[in-house]
Amino acid sequence: MKVLHVELDQNRSYPIYIGSGLLNQPELLRQHIRSKQVLIVSNETIAPLYLPSLQAALGEYQVETVILPDGEQYKNLAHLEKIFDQLLAKKFSRNATLIALGGGVIGDMGGFAAACYQRGIVFIQIPTTLLAQVDSSVGGKTGVNHPLGKNMIGAFYQPQCVIADADVLDTLDDRQLAAGLAEVIKYGLIRDAEFLDWLEANMPRLLARDKAALAYAIERSCINKAEVVGEDEFESGVRATLNLGHTFGHAIETGSGYGHYLHGEAVAIGTCFAADLSQRLGWLNAANVERVIKIFQAANLPVTPPAEMSTEQYVDLMAVDKKNVDGKIRVILLEAIGKASLPVNVELAQLQDTLNNYSKANA
């Protein structure tokens, strides 16, 4: 087992445990639980696979569960309320623990519920997708979607620990594995060019689920994420670079209907868009842009935006983003391979032009 640390102030640092068979090591969990009351939040796909062993590991606790329907379209206030209903119905107190057992949807919702219930209870992340293990479970961003904008309602709320058991990836389907690779590739592009080289050389091993390759990719991704979050927990600076490809990606997710494109797929398309815009600003050359497109293609990810969405729709949706300031659309671009920019203001005309050209060029 590898143990990394997210270093935060005010005694809020926490460990990320990465390894095999971790769900069978209850002591990892128990040391972070402060009372008998434990609520496990999961969904109807993951619960049959992993809930029984987790419940068994917590035999002597009062373990309650909330099993949500599976899908991004349920990451909303209505389903968040089901978690509060259960916490209240079972009379959970302030020292209770909420465990999120699932992918990014369950982790984001569970974390937000933990942040809000009695203004904050103990929260533990057990991420079960590659995407959640390398990104969403680390760093404390929690929340839900609104029909008008993705992740627009939420809170920063750090877990007490993250338990990333690579064995659970065995049951993840290939499309979801590829979606997780989008966020892995992101770290290479924004701040770790050496890792990008490694990913280019090792993509076939990752797609074939080579355990050693996956373990390395998870660890190196978490090292990158922990460093960025440790430096800028509340996203006043460098943390925004983790949103490479996300402004356009979120527009695709919202515009095409939550759940149609997987988050990682939308991020892959959004990153190719960002690379195109970076070239227009003179930061990347054509070969760099081709390299970005190729690595996503190698991971079996889409690189072209959905044709059924119009330029106006993209612009409208990109105008609802947490990076925007005073109504200006701001995006993260690439100054070079392995070096992301801080948020860049994009003029409406420039954006429309890029969207028109990009969509046509890649159609």
Determine whether 141 is an active site residue.
yes
Nearer to ligand GLY, 79 or 225 (CB): 225
- Smaller CB separation from ligand NAD, 69 or 90: 69
Instruction: Give the strand pairing for 97-102 and 37-43.
Output: parallel
Q: Which is nearer to ligand GLY, 107 or 302 (CB)?
A: 107
Binding site for ligand NAD (CB under 6 A): 43, 45-46, 49, 70, 72, 75, 102-106, 108, 128-129, 131-132, 135-136, 139, 141, 151, 168, 171-172, 176, 179, 262-264
To ligand GLY, the closest distance from the beta carbon of 98 in angstroms equals 19
Q: Taking CB within 5 to 8 Å according to partner kind, which of ligand GLY, ligand NAD, none is near residue 97? A: none
Buried b (16+ CB within 10 A) or exposed e, 275-295: bbbbbbeebbeeebbebbbeb
Residue corresponding to tokens 């972070």: 32
Phi/psi at 116 (5° precision): -90, -35
- Structure-token match 């390299």, residue found: 291
d(CA 296, CA 302): 7
The full length of the chain comes to: 363
Q: Considering the candidates 235, 322, 323, 330, report the single residue annotated as catalytic.
A: 235
Provide, rounded to whole angstroms, the least separation between the CB of residue 206 and ligand NAD.
Answer: 16
Which entry of 75, 250, 323, 330 is annotated as an active-site residue? 250
| Residue 183 annotated among the catalytic residues of the structure | yes
For the CB of residue 348, give the shortest distance to ligand NAD in the complex, in Å: 26
Element (H, E) at 24: none
CB of 149 to ligand NAD, least distance (A): 12
Nearest to ligand NAD of 18, 106 (CB atom): 106
Provide the 10 A C-beta neighbour count for residue 361: 9
Q: Which is nearer to ligand GLY, 167 or 227 (CB)?
A: 227
284 binds, among ligand NAD, ligand GLY, none (CB under 5 to 8 A by kind): none
Residues in touch with ligand GLY (CB under 6 A): 135, 139, 141, 239, 242-243
Structure tokens at 60: 């002597």
Asked if residue 148 lies in contact with residue 318, where contact means CB atoms within 8 angstroms, the answer is: no
Determine the residue with CB nearest ligand NAD. 104
Q: Which has the closest alpha carbon to 268: 240, 296, 306?
A: 296
Cα–Cα nearest to 354, from 270, 290, 297 = 270
Q: DSSP letter at 325?
A: B
CB of 324 to ligand NAD, least distance (A): 17
Token pair belonging to 105: 């949807």
- Name which of 75 and 141 has its Cβ closer to ligand GLY: 141
**Interacting partner of 43 out of ligand GLY, ligand NAD, none (Cβ under 5 to 8 A depending on kind):** ligand NAD
- The residue among 183, 135, 202 whose CA lies nearest residue 301 is 183
Question: Residue 239: which of ligand NAD, ligand GLY, none does it interact with, CB under 5 to 8 A by kind?
Answer: ligand GLY
Q: What is the closest distance, in whole angstroms, from the C-beta atom of residue 139 to ligand GLY in the complex? A: 4
225 is catalytic: yes
Phi-psi region at 41: left, alpha or beta (left = phi > 0; alpha = psi -120 to 50): beta
Query: Which of the following is catalytic: 79, 246, 322, 323?
Result: 246
- CB-CB neighbours of 264 under 10 Å: 30
| CA angle in degrees (0–180, nearest 5) for 210-41-64 | 125
The residues annotated with a catalytic role in the active site are 119, 141, 183, 225, 235, 239, 243, 246, 250, 263
